[in-house]
Amino acid sequence: MKHKVLVGAVITTLLAFLLYMANMKRVEDAKLTVVGPKTSKVAKKKAKEPKVKTLKEPKVNSIEYSNHVKAKSGSNKKLVKIIKKTMGLDDSYQVVAQDLNNSNHFAVVSNTAKAHNANKAMKLFLLIALYEQEQKGKIGNRTAITIKKADKVKGDKMLQTNMAYGIAYLREAMLRGNKTASNALLRKIGVANVDSVAKRMGATQTTIAKNFNGDSYGKTTAADLAKTMMGLYQGRVLNRQHASRVLSTLASSKDRPSLVDDINGGVYAIGDHDFAVAIVQGKGNAYCVSVWGSNNKNFAKLGQQVNTWFSKKRK
- In tens, the pLDDT along 238-276 reads 999 999 999 999 999 888 999 999 998 899 999 999 999
> CA 6 from chain center: how many Å?
111
End-to-end alpha carbon distance in the chain: 141
Range of the domain at 240: 64-311
Is residue 10 situated within a structural domain? no
- What is the DSSP secondary-structure string of 239-254? -HHHHHHHHHHHHH-S
pLDDT at 200: 97
Where residue 169 sits, what CATH number does that domain have?
Answer: 3.40.710.10
Burial class (CB in 10 A: 0-12, 13-18, 19+), 66: middle
Is residue 48 situated within a structural domain? no
Is residue 33 situated within a structural domain? no
CA–CA distance, 162 with 232 (Å, rounded to integer): 35
Is residue 58 situated within a structural domain? no
In this prediction, what percent of the chain has a pLDDT beyond 90? Answer: 72
pLDDT at 89: 86
Is residue 47 situated within a structural domain? no
CA–CA distance, 61 with 64 (Å, rounded to integer): 7
CA–CA distance, 280 with 301 (Å, rounded to integer): 15
CA–CA distance, 52 with 49 (Å, rounded to integer): 9
In this prediction, what percent of the chain has a pLDDT beyond 70? Answer: 78
Is residue 122 situated within a structural domain? yes
Cβ proximity of 277 and 248 under 8 Å: no
Q: What is the pTM of this model?
A: 0.78
User: CA dihedral defined by 93, 98, 103, 105, rounded to 10 degrees?
Assistant: -80
pLDDT of residue 17 exceeding 70: no
pLDDT-derived band at 93 (thresholds 50, 70, 90) equals very high
CA distances from 99 to 203, 281, 287, 297 (A): 19, 10, 4, 24
Cβ proximity of 207 and 266 under 8 Å: no
Instruction: Read off the pLDDT of each residue in 285-304 and give the average, rounded to a whole number.
Output: 96
Burial class (CB in 10 A: 0-12, 13-18, 19+), 44: exposed
Is residue 1 situated within a structural domain? no
Per the structure, the count of domains in the chain is: 1
Q: Using one digit for the tens of pLDDT, what is the confidence trace for 135-158?
A: 999 999 899 999 999 999 999 999
Give the list of residues 6+ apart from residue 143 with CB closer than 8 angstroms, or none: 166, 167
Q: Using one digit for the tens of pLDDT, what is the confidence trace for 61-83?
A: 444 555 689 999 999 999 999 99
Is residue 201 situated within a structural domain? yes
pLDDT at 41: 45
